[in-house]
């Protein structure tokens, strides 16, 4: 579940970077959340990707 959320957030961030359509810092907040989720998976001992 967390992996799916992280992947969706990363895809949304990449789309925001490619299309140059950003809502202020919202896209960067999505990126930070995705990185945090992946780090939590690493810390908990599961495969990150």
Domain limits of the chain?
2-43
CA atoms within 13 A on the CB side of 42: 9
pLDDT tens-digit map of 2-34 = 778 888 877 877 777 666 655 656 767 777 888
Q: What angle do CA 15, 16, 17 make, to 5 degrees?
A: 90
Nearest to 37 by CA among 3, 8, 12: 3
The pLDDT, as a whole number, for residue 29 is 74
The whole-angstrom separation of Cα 27 and Cα 45 is: 28
Instruction: Please state the pTM of the whole predicted model.
Output: 0.48
Q: What is the mean pLDDT of residues 29-44?
A: 82
Q: What is the dihedral of CA 24, 5, 7, 39, to 10 degrees?
A: 90
The pLDDT, as a whole number, for residue 1 is 72
């Amino acid at each position: 579940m967390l992996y799916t959320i992280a992947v969706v957030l990363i895809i949304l961030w990449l789309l925001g970077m490619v299309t140059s359509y950003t809502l202020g810092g919202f896209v960067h907040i999505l990126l930070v959340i995705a990185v945090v989720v992946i780090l939590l998976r690493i810390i908990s001992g599961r495969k990150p990707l």
